[in-house]
Amino acid sequence: MSDDLRYRTVVIDRRSESYVGYGGQKRWMYFESRVVECRIQSGEVFRHSHPIEEFSYESKKIDSLVSKMIGEKVHERTGLMMDSNPHWDQSSDDLWVQSHHSGRFGAGRYSYRATASSQELLVEWKNNLLRNYHPMGYGTSVDDPTQLESGLWEARATRAGSCD
């Protein structure tokens, strides 16, 4: 299994700065501050306490940090080790959902991949997705949660965006 399911980056702040560019025109630069979250094997989620700021269209620094964490196998540490490390804080954000859209705007297909530390949390997410999109769950399909390894469960879903 790929270790990247145990890591994700979270944008915690966005800011912009203006400057006078070539020809006296006002130009804007956009920045994002990101942090890394890691789900250890017990299922607990920890957030790295030092944000990394870079241009909103770049991710070299944060990607390098995640690669270093994967290489160091941070996800294999215990909760006690993470608690004693001043660079990590425990997070209550246990459900991670990645989404992807394909097709035309307002229609097409939406795909989701949700990961959590328990099957119950994914079943609750599945039921909410079916209930909140359309009263009959029209066009929505959700797989049953599967356990990838200890402390890591996954569920996938798709739904159509053109019926409402």
Question: pLDDT tens across 49-100, in order?
Answer: 999 999 888 889 999 999 999 999 999 999 999 999 999 999 888 899 888 8
Same domain? For 7 and 75 the reply is yes
Statement to judge: residues 106 and 134 lie in one domain: yes
Q: How much is the pLDDT for 129?
A: 83
Range of the domain at 123: 96-160
Q: What are phi and psi of 14, to 5 degrees?
A: -130, 140
Q: What is the C-alpha separation between 138 and 155, in angstroms, rounded? A: 19
Q: Do residues 39 and 8 share a domain?
A: yes
Higher pLDDT, 45 or 159: 45
- 82 and 101 housed in the same domain: no
101 and 147 in one domain? yes
CA distance 64 to 8: 13
Of the candidates 66, 91, 116, which is a domain's last residue? Answer: 91
Cα distance between residue 71 and residue 64, in whole Å = 10
Q: Do 15 and 58 lie in a common domain?
A: yes
User: Where among 74, 91, 108 does a domain terminate?
Assistant: 91
**Taking the complete model, does pTM exceed 0.85, yes or no?**
no
Which pairing describes strands 26-39 and 146-149: parallel, antiparallel, or unpaired? unpaired
**Claim to verify: residue 107 and residue 74 sit in the same structural domain:** no
- Asked whether 51 and 34 are in contact (CB, 8 A), the reply is yes
- Retrieve residue 69's tokens: 């964490």
